[in-house]
Structure 1
C-alpha cells in the first residue's frame, strides 16, 4: 500500500491477498491519512471515517444515480456496450440505483408489500429452519458452515417469501452470484457474459410466476407486489421483476456473508455464546456488534449531483465517491478499542446497512435471521471450533468467507 498524504493519494490493489484477508489493518493507515483519499485503482475519492461516511449517506447533494441529470456524453462516459445492455436494462429499474422521485415511488410501493408482511412473524420459521439444518449435519462432527447453514437460511426464506419452489434455491443462487459479479472490482468479459445470461434467465423465470399470480394471487411477495398501490401508482412489470431480483441478490449475498463472518468472529475472539445470547436484549446487542465488527459490504458509492466542495475536495457533477463501511465501523473516534469484539458495547449506530434514503430495505429481515440463527447454532453445538484459518473470498468490496470448516 502506498499513501501520499500531501497529494491525498492512495494506491492499493483491491485484489491483494493481504488486503482481502485483513483490510482492517490497512484501513487504520488510510483513516489516519484521511479522512479522504483518492484511491487510484478505483479512480475516485473514498472516505474512511465514521463521521463523513454517516454524513454522506444523508447528504442529498450525492446520490446513486446521475444520468437522470446529466447525459453520458456530457459526463464523458462511453455508451453502454451492447453485450451488457440486457443487464443494465434490468438494473435500471432497481430502487437501489434510482434517485427521487422515481426512488421514492418504488421504495414506497415495495416497502408496503415487504414491511406489511410483518417480518417479525418469520421468527418461528427461521428458528425451525435453523434447527432442521443443524439436524442434517450434527451427527457428522464437522461441517462447512457456509454451505450447510449460512447459505440455505436466507435463500430458503427469500424463495418462500417470493412464492417460488425452494427446490429452485441452487439455481437462484447461481443467478445471484453471476449477477452480483458485475459490481466487483476487475470484472472480466466472461463475468459480464455470465451475468447477462443469468439476468435473462432470471427475468424469464420470474415473468412466468408474475403471469401466474396475476390470474391466481396467493399470500406471497410477488402477489403483494402485483396488488400494492399508493396514490394511484403501481409497479410496472419490469419494476416488479427487478424488485424481486434485488431482494434475492441483496438479501442473500449479504446475509450469507454476515452469518459466516459472525460465527468466525465469535469463535476466533473466544466470545462466550451463552452470555452473548443470554436474552433477547443481549442477542440484539451482540448482532449489532457483529455487524459492526466484520460487515458483509465494505464500500458503497455515490455520485456528486452538483458541483460542490466537501472536506476541502472539489467535486464536479458526476464524480464518484466511495463510502468505506468497514473502515467507518472501526473508527476509534466513535468506537473505543474498535478492533475488539465486545457484545456489551454501548449502542452506537454502525454503517453496515447504509443510511439515508437508501438504507437497506431488508435490514429488519437480515437482523432477524442473525438474531435467531446464531443462538440456535451455538445452543445446539456449544463445542464449535474452527478447523483451519478461514479465508475470505477474493471479491472485494463484498466481504465474506469462501468456506468455514468447523468441528464439535
Structure 2
C-alpha cells in the first residue's frame, strides 16, 4: 500500500491513488476521539474505501443526506435478506428476529410495518410523557445527590430511557436489567469483527427476549390495556395486522432502539456541556434554548456514527466510485455532523447555530421513528440534572466504550 505520510494520525494509513484507508475502529486513540480522523478525512478523502470494513464510506454531510434518501440503496440485503446459509445456523433465533425488523426491510413490507407502529406510537402522544420523565429524573437524582459524586451512566443516563420505553410497552420496569442484558448482547452483532461466542450469545439473547415478549403479548391479548404492546396487537392497516413474529420483532426493536442511542447521547451531552465551559443555566433557561442545546449535542457528539446501506443495482456515484449490486456502503453520520463544508466552525459547540441540520437520526424512510421521544427525554433529563446539581463537574477524564459504530461513554464520573 502506497501510504501517504500522516505523522499526526499514525494509526490511519491512506493510499491517495486508490483512496483506500486503513483505520482499525478498535484503535484506542480513534475510540476516544474519532473526530481527529474525521477532520483529516474531510480534507483528504471525504469518500474513501475503508479496508477494515471492505466497503466505500462517505463522510460528507450532503453526500450522507443524499444517500440516505437514495432509493437505489436500502437496508434489506438483496436476494437472501440476511445472507443465510449453513454458516449462520448458530444464528437462527437472531435471524428470525432480524427478518421481521422494519429497520432491515424496504417497501412495501417496511411501509406496512412502519405505518402500523407509527399509529400506535403517535397515539401515545409523546409529549404526555414529560411529567413522568421529569419525575423519574428527580427520583434518580434523589438517590445519589447526597453522595457528592456519581458514575452518571448507570445511575442516570441508562435508567431513564429504559424505564420509559418499558413502561410505554407495558413491560415491568423492574425487569430493566434483564432487558438491558438481552439488548446489549444483540446489538453486539453490529460491531466490527465480532467473534463466534459473541454471535452465540446474541442468538441466545434473541431466543430468550422473543420468549419473554411472546409471554407478555399473550397476557395483553387476555387483558389489553392502553400500553404500546396492546396497541400494537390491535393496530391494523387495510385489514392487515402484525403477525406474531412481526409483533415480537417490533417490540424488541422498540425496546432496543428506544434506549441504546439515548443512553449514549445523554452521557455524550453531559460531557460536551461540561467541557464546553458554557453556563448550563443559560443553556436550559427556556424551552427554545433547551431544544437548541440538545440539537447541538446531537450534532457535536452523536450516539451512532455509521449506518450502512446495500446497493440494489450497479450504481455509478461519480468520481470513480462504482458500487456493484449487493455491495454495502457506509455513511459516517458522526463525520457528516462535523463537515466543514456544511457547518461553520464544525468543531465548536454552538447551541442555537443557524446551520443546524445534523443527521444523527438519519433521513429518508428510515428516519428514526423514536426521534421525538429521544429529544424529549434528553430535554427533560438534562435540564433537570443541571438544575438540581448546578455545581457538577468532571471528576476524571470520561472514557468511551470500544463499540464503534455506536459511540458512547463507558464511564462518566461527576462530582459536586
TM-score computed with the length of structure 1 as normaliser: 0.97
Alignment of 1:254-333 (within 5 A): 254-312=261-319, 313-333=321-341
Structure 2: unaligned runs, 5 residues or longer: 1-11
- In structure 1, distance between residues paired with 2:326 and 2:395: 47
The alignment status of 1:386 with 2:394, answered yes or no, reads: yes
The alignment status of 1:10 with 2:38, answered yes or no, reads: no
Match of 2:242 in 1: 235
Corresponding pairs, count: 404
The alignment status of 1:24 with 2:35, answered yes or no, reads: yes
- In structure 2, distance between residues paired with 1:323 and 1:129: 35
Deviation at 1:71, TM superposition (A): 4.3
Post-superposition Cα deviations, 1:342-383, rounded to whole Å, max 9, x if no partner, equal 112114211000000000000000000001000100000000
Post-superposition Cα deviations, 1:290-332, rounded to whole Å, max 9, x if no partner, equal 0000000000000111111013311111110000000000001
1:262 touches 1:291 (CA, 8 Å); kept in 2?
yes
Match of 1:150 in 2: 157
Q: What SS is found at the alignment partner of 2:349?
A: coil
- In structure 2, distance between residues paired with 1:239 and 1:5: 46
2:115 touches 2:237 (CA, 8 Å); kept in 1?
yes
Q: What SS is found at the alignment partner of 1:81?
A: helix
Moved more, 58-67 or 99-108: 58-67
1:285 touches 1:347 (CA, 8 Å); kept in 2?
no
Q: What SS is found at the alignment partner of 1:331?
A: coil
The alignment status of 1:120 with 2:127, answered yes or no, reads: yes
Q: What SS is found at the alignment partner of 2:258?
A: helix
- In structure 2, distance between residues paired with 1:334 and 1:38: 22
- In structure 2, distance between residues paired with 1:388 and 1:186: 30
2:130 touches 2:380 (CA, 8 Å); kept in 1?
yes
Match of 2:65 in 1: 54
Aligned partner (choices 167, 171, 188) of residue 181 of structure 1: 188
TM-score computed with the length of structure 2 as normaliser: 0.95
Match of 1:170 in 2: 177
Match of 2:50 in 1: 39
1:63 touches 1:302 (CA, 8 Å); kept in 2?
yes
- In structure 1, distance between residues paired with 2:293 and 2:272: 11
Aligned partner (choices 399, 402, 406) of residue 407 of structure 2: 399
1:57 touches 1:354 (CA, 8 Å); kept in 2?
yes
Match of 1:357 in 2: 365
The alignment status of 1:210 with 2:217, answered yes or no, reads: yes
Match of 2:74 in 1: 63
Structure 1: unaligned runs, 5 residues or longer: none
